[in-house]
Structures are given as C-alpha cells and as structure tokens.
Structure 1
Amino acid sequence: MPTRKRSSYVPEELLFSVLNYVVIILACLTVLFPLLNITALAFNSGADAQRGGIYLWPRVWSLQNFTEVFTQSHMVNGFLVSLFRTVVGTAASVFMTALAAYALTSRTLPARGPIAFMIFFTMLFSGGLIPYYLVLKDLHLTNTIWVYIVPSLYSVWNMMVMRTFFQQVPVELQEAARMDGLNETGIFLKIVLPLSKPVLASMALFNGVSHWNDWFTGAFFVREQQLKPAATLLQEMLVSQEALSQSLLRPGHAYEMLDRMQVTGESLKMAMILLVILPILFIFPFVQKHFTKGVSAGALKE
C-alpha cells in the first residue's frame, strides 16, 4: 500500500510559523494604521475633521489642506531646500565616505591603526552642542545652505561598513589592475565602486533619509526663513498651530470660529506630514533589493 506523505510541518513548527505570521501582521498594522489615518485626515475637510470619527477613509474629500500648505510662506522654497540638500548632500557624503573607507583598507597606509581608532573614537564622544556651534560659526557655515552638507560629509558608522565591504573585493582584481597600469584612483573608480553598488545604495538611502527628515539643523543653525528645509518648517508649523488651537479653545473664545475653518491646524499638519514622508516611501522600493544585501554584506567579514 502506498504510504501517505507526511506533512513537512510538525506541530511545533506549525505553531511557530503561525505565531510568526501573527506577530508580523500585527507589526505591519501598527505601522500601516497611523499612515492611513494621516492620509484620511489630510484629504478630509478640516472643519469636518473637527467632529472626529475619521480613521481610515476621508468623510468629506478636500484638497484644500494641500492647497493651503503650498500657499504658506516659504513652503515651496522649503521643499526645494530639502531637495537640494538631500541630492547634493547624499551624493557628496557617499563619495567622500567611500574615499575614506577605501583609504583605510590600504595595508600600505601609514599609521592605519591609529587613524582608524581616532575616527572610531568620534563615535563614542562628541564635543557638545555649543562647541559644535562655535566651530560652524568660525567656518562661516551658519545661516548658509552649506551647513546642511559640509558637517555631514562623513559618517563614521557608514565608513566602517564601507571599509568592511571594500575588504571583501578580491585583492587579485586590484593587483591585476595595477599590473595593467591603473593607479589607486582608477582602481577605486573602475573596480571597487562598481562592485560595491549594494553598500553604496544602502548608504545613500541612510544619508537621504537623514537629510530629508533633519529639522534640527535648520532650527538651530539657520536664521533666514528661505534657507530652512521642509522638515524644519513642519516643526515650526506644528508648534504654531498647537499654540493657535489652544488659544482658540480657551474660555471666552467663539467655538464656532473652529467650525467655519475649512483648514484647521490638525488637517494642515497631516497634509504637511504626508508631503514630507511620501518621497521616502516612493524611493525605498527602488533601492530595497540592494538595501539588505548591502547592510548584511558590509556588516560581516569573512
């Protein structure tokens, strides 16, 4: 008699798989629900949103929130500043960090060990905010567009990950290139970088997200409103709208004023948040295939 094929899952493995799926689904829902709620409030009329009860779908569709965002003073300019610092800052940071990481892989680099230790030491201790501000001021970087780019050219953690990845590039390829007459610059540009696309894509994603979401630099080191990025303007908008909402809700103020507002502070805040996070959501799928490979390969050394 033909034997019956056993299931590939024993009860313990099946229970473990079910628990894994349940945990993953719950984790996805905890991330997805706030995003859907923000989207629903952003596309809903601000006056109607004051009634509450909006969770996953707009009740009264409206684009007035987004129209109001782009009519705000310096808002369009803020997105241009964010775009400039993200593109230029990411490209410059990845290239300069890769240069430093490649130099640290050279066995002929004088005092390579002490240099690597000094670089790593900066990850453990910092000079503090006030000395950092004084350095930026002495370099004439404060209140300029370059305060977003120059201080972030190098990331020690990214440098260490890149160095580990570059050490996995076969030495035979580099030796063959030297025999063909390539210098170190040519080896770096024509051999090391093309073979390191996964880690470069991962580091570019890290840098891009950091530049796009950074509000601290614009809030503390820039005074000119036209030089502030979208994230800083969003933070200022949240503070001002919260103060306005609290003042309107004080005793003695007309509550019907809130009912007549088609755009409220809460709806405006949701529209701005959605505009800030959408670029990252659109870019991530294109680098996702390189992301895991780059981080895991760069973090482990054979």
Structure 2
Amino acid sequence: MTKSMESSKASKVINTTLIVILCLSIILPFMHILALSLNSGVDAQRGGITLLPRALTIDNYIEVFKQDNLLNGLFISVFRTVLGTTFGVGLMSMAAYALTIKTLPGRKYISFFIFFTMLFSGGTIPYYLVLNKLGLTESIWVYIIPTLYSVTNILLLRTSFNQLPSSVIEAARIDGYGEFNIFTKIVLPMSKPVLATITLFTAVGHWNDWYAGTFFVRSAKLKPLATILQEMLTRQNALADILLKSSGEQAYTMLEKISITGESLQMATIIIVILPIVIMYPFIQKYFVQGITVGSIKE
C-alpha cells in the first residue's frame, strides 16, 4: 500500500508539474505581447521588457484604431464569423445527421463522395476561377459560402451522432416525431459538447482567416481585420528591408522610428485580433469536459 501511495503521489506531482509548464508556455508569451502593446514604442526599443510594461501607455491602441478601414475590417470579421459559423454549423449538423439515417437512399455512396473530396485539391488558381465564375469574388459572401462545408467537421458530427442512444431516437419515431423534430429536439440538445467544439473551430477559422481577403478581394472596404493586420506587417517589413539597404543618416533615423512604432503597433493589433477568442473560450470550455461522457449511456 505504501509503495502504491508513493507512486500515486509521484504521478500527481509529475502531472501537476507538466500542466504548470504547459500553462506557463501559453500564458507567458501572451503576457509578453500584452506588455509590449501597452509600452511606449520608444522605450520598447531599449529592450528588457518581459511580462510588465515599463512605460505604460495606450497610445499604441489609439494609433491602431486610427488606421484606415480598421473598424470596417472589424465589422467584416464579426459579420463573417457570426453568419458563417451559424449557417456553417447548422448545415453541417443537418448533413451529418442525414448520414446517420440508415434508410437514406445511397447513404454509403454519399459518405464516400464526401470523404473523397478530402484527398484532392484543385489548387488556388482553379479555386479562384470557380469563385469568380460564381460571382463570389469582390463580395463579402466569398468569406461565407465556400466555408459552409467542412468534411472533417461533418465526419466528427456524424461520429458523435452515431454514439447517441438509438433507443431514444427510435422511441421518438414511434411516437410520430419527424426527422426534423428528432434532429432539433433530441439530437442537437444531446450533442452540445461536439457542437460547441465545432462552433469554436469554425469561429476561430473565420476570425483568423486572412487568406481569402488577400487573394479573392481587392476592395479595401471588404477586407477583414486579419487581412488588414497581415498587410500592415508586410508593408512594415518591406519598408524596413528597403531602409536597411539604404545609406545615410536620414535612412537610419527613419529605420529607428519604424522599428520603434512598428513592433508596438503589431503587438497591439495582435491583442485586438485574439482578444475576442480568448474571451469566448471559457464559456465553451465546459462542454469539452462533457464531451468525454458522450456515448457513455448504456441502453
């Protein structure tokens, strides 16, 4: 018994230590970015800032919101995240539930066709031509319609739905429930953990996506916040590279100014982009724990 207790205590210490190290590896970089975003850009050039700002200021955030189309980009990001996540999760859930119905005609062929699309990709140019032919380029719907479908999420949802007690669903059918009522009143309420997971994955994908705004949209008014951030970083890095290759006192003075303001502005913009996800995550996290019990009900 003594050896068993000592082994249990040792394993708890090791697990706790690993969890603490993992948490610190996530929290410390975030605190460093936050400290730089709240620190004066001129002072940040001296270095030595770790977890707390040395010269506290909110000027970096004020400067970020002064940039052209930033608030408009924020609206685009919120719009596509809310609408794309709502419709995407809803349609994928319905598709996944339909694939669990054994009497669905051609169910095996439909499942194979959906899985087959995971194996190949047409590439960026054919994808752009298809979007252009459909009239989605230069439109806000290019962020939403192509993302309504995700094979991975459909398969995850189908697997979760298959683990639900079949006796409950069959009893509902005997009582006269239609498939849509079974889906909305029984399947969805019993699948909150996996729905929360898919919702979080989909929302984060929409919020962090800069690719579509860079390659499929030219109008500055249609670019999401992530694209604006990426383009700002690209411009600053390109300008810094040009000045590094230049000579003269004026070039070095401009380079120093860009280095001072650029890093702080980047950190402030990064905080603005990731803050909504950080705020939303704790409200969904509890469903991940509940997901462990999915399918554990014995019939």
Structure 1-normalised TM-score?
0.90
Structure 1 residues not aligned, in runs of 5+ = none
Match of 1:270 in 2: 267
The CA deviation at 1:175 is 2.7
1:213 is aligned, of 208, 214, 219, to 208
What residue is the counterpart of 1:202 in the other structure? 197
Structure 2: distance between partners of 1:292 and 1:132: 38
**Structure 2 Cα separation of the partners of residues 16 and 169 of structure 1:** 34
Secondary structure at 2:164 match in 1? coil
What is the letter of the counterpart of residue 291 of structure 1?
A: F
Separation in 1, partners of 2:13, 2:171: 52
Aligned equivalent of 1:279? 276
Q: What's the CA shift for 1:76?
A: 0.5
Q: CA deviation at 1:28?
A: 2.2
CA contact (8 A) 2:45 2:259 kept: no
Q: Which moved more, 1:181-190 or 1:71-80?
A: 181-190
Shift in CA distance, 179/296, structure 1 to aligned 2, threshold 3 Å: closer
Query: Which digits, 9 at most, give the CA deviation of each residue in 1:264-299, with x for residues without a partner?
Result: 11110000001101111000000001124337848x
> For residue 42 of structure 1, what is the aligned residue in structure 2?
37
Give the Cα–Cα distance (whole angstroms) in 2 for the partners of residues 132 and 31 of structure 1: 36
Give the CA deviation at 1:8.
5.6
Aligned partner of residue 52 in structure 1, secondary structure: coil
Aligned partner of 1:169 in structure 2 is: 164
1:207-246 matched pairs, under 5 angstroms: 207-246=202-241
Conservation of the 8 A alpha-carbon contact between 1:47 and 1:262? no
- State the alpha-carbon separation in 1 of the partners of residues 264 and 248 from structure 2: 24
Partner of 2:124: 129
Structure 2 residues not aligned, in runs of 5+: none
- How much is the aligned-residue C-alpha RMSD, in angstroms? 2.3
Shift of residue 14 of structure 1? 4.1
How many residue pairs match? The answer is 294
Specify whether residues 73 and 295 from structure 1 end up closer, same or farther in structure 2 by C-alpha distance, changes over 3 A only: farther
CA 1:244 to 1:295, structure 2 compared with 1: closer, same or farther past 3 Å?
A: farther
Identity percentage of aligned residues: 54
Structure 2 length as normaliser, TM-score?
0.91
What displacement does 1:179 show?
3.1
Q: 1:63 to 1:108 in 2, by over 3 A?
A: same
Match of 2:183 among 188, 208, 219: 188
The change in CA–CA distance for 1:30 and 1:235 in structure 2 (over 3 A counts) is same
Cα distance between partner residues in 1 of 2:58 and 2:112 = 54
